[in-house]
Amino acid sequence: MSEAQADSGGARHGFRIDIKSVGPMIALLLLCILGYVLNPAFASEGNLTNILTRSAFIGIIAVGATFVITAGGIDLSVGSMAAVISGVMIITMNSAIDTFGPGLTTVLLGCGCSIILGLGAGMINGLLTTKGKIEAFIVTLGTMGIFRSLVTYFADGGTLALDFGIRSVYRPVYYGDFLGLPIPIWVFICVALVGWFLLNRTTFGRYCTAIGSNEGVAKYSAVNVDRIKTMTYVIQGLCVSLATIIYVPRLGSASASTGVLWELEAIAAVIIGGTVLKGGYGRIGGTVIGALILTTIGNILNLTDLVSNYLNGTMQGLIIIIAVWLQRGPWQKPASSQT
């Protein structure tokens, strides 16, 4: 009995994995075809580069979120974290001009500051969750509010603008090319590759999956659960700081509305990509595609007047729900038949 069922269970799972890895890819392809049919300008080189560049922010953050979610956590603070990091970066660089002048040193100082803040903020989220034994949802809901109000305070309710002298030095980080591709795309590619390797090929990634599947088993298997979980939040923080570094030169400013709802877009990208929200199974490749899908929807709405651009959120919401429905869709039999 058990062997027969084991067999069918295995086959069923294999099938589901296939759907999970191929499904998002097919969805993205269909979206691209739809975009091209509605407006051939969609497939122009400029537009495709534009989509990739824009998805880099959410994509980089979502790669970090893949680790947090795979290990059974959640980080709601990433949008606010990006905002407060942008704010502090701008303040730092503006005040460093007096000492170092509007040059590379100042920009590097700002970037260093961003990375330290990202790592620190991630560390705080992680330690409060693990050592403080507070649910990740509550911790990051709290820090989300704190970070958001901090940036409002720093900007005094208005906008923090980067000094024009530095803008010209810093500008290439967003607008510059390397081997024909904009810098943000390169950063995105690197982050995704490193993330894929970490999650799929290292003990750290395996431990994340184990913790997300069953923390008790991980603990009994000599996994330092607290350290690994904290590390996922630190990685998330680092990803946010990298995304911020390429985001700041785009607008050259930060305000209370910077990065609003990024946390939801990042989580959405992760889930659309096939990572399981309750942890234990994560896919970096899926996350990348998830981020591309979200950006592509917005882009198609911009290029056509079929649906109002104001309904962008509606379309994204629908895609998220459909994606998850497809993943645990009707072909999956209830678990009770397996026992």
Q: Which residues bind another protein (CB under 8 A)?
A: 1-10, 13-14, 197, 200-203, 206-207, 209-210, 213-214, 216-224, 280-281, 336-339
Closest distance to another protein from the beta carbon of 209 (Å):
7
Structure tokens that stand for 314 in this block: 């509606």
Task: Report how far apart, in Å, the C-alpha atoms of 238 and of each of 123, 182, 205, 233, 267 are.
Answer: 10, 21, 17, 9, 16
Collapsed DSSP state (helix, strand, coil) of residue 160: strand
Give the residue with the Cβ less far from another protein, 167 or 219. Answer: 219
Angle at 67 between CA 64 and CA 72, to 5 degrees: 135
Q: What DSSP assignment string belongs to 165-198?
A: HHHHHHTHHHH-EETTEEHHHHHHHHHHHHHHHH
The two three-digit tokens of residue 107, written as one number: 């920009």
Q: What is the DSSP letter of 253?
A: E
Closer residue to another protein (CB): 149 or 338: 338
DSSP string, 270-307: HHHTT--TTSS---HHHHHHHHHHHHHHHHHHHH-SSS
**Nearer CB in complex with another protein: 148/283:** 283
Q: Shortest distance, CB of residue 278 to another protein, whole angstroms?
A: 11
| Cα 239 to Cα 329: distance, rounded to the nearest angstrom | 32
* CB closer to another protein out of 10 and 132: 10
Shortest gap between Cβ of 63 and another protein (angstroms)? 17
Q: Which CB, 183 or 223, lies closer to another protein?
A: 223
* Distance of alpha carbon 137 from alpha carbon 120, whole angstroms: 18
Question: CB of residue 127 vs another protein: minimum separation in angstroms?
Answer: 18
CB nearer another protein, residue 153 or residue 197: 197
Give me the least distance between CB of 271 and another protein, in Å please.
17
Q: Which residue lies nearer to another protein by CB, 6 or 138? A: 6
Closest approach of Cβ 151 to another protein, in Å?
38
Is the Cβ–Cβ distance between 252 and 265 less than 8 Å?
no
- Tokens 């709601």 correspond to 76
Residues 71, 134 contacting (CB under 8 angstroms): no
| Shortest Å, Cβ 14 to another protein | 6
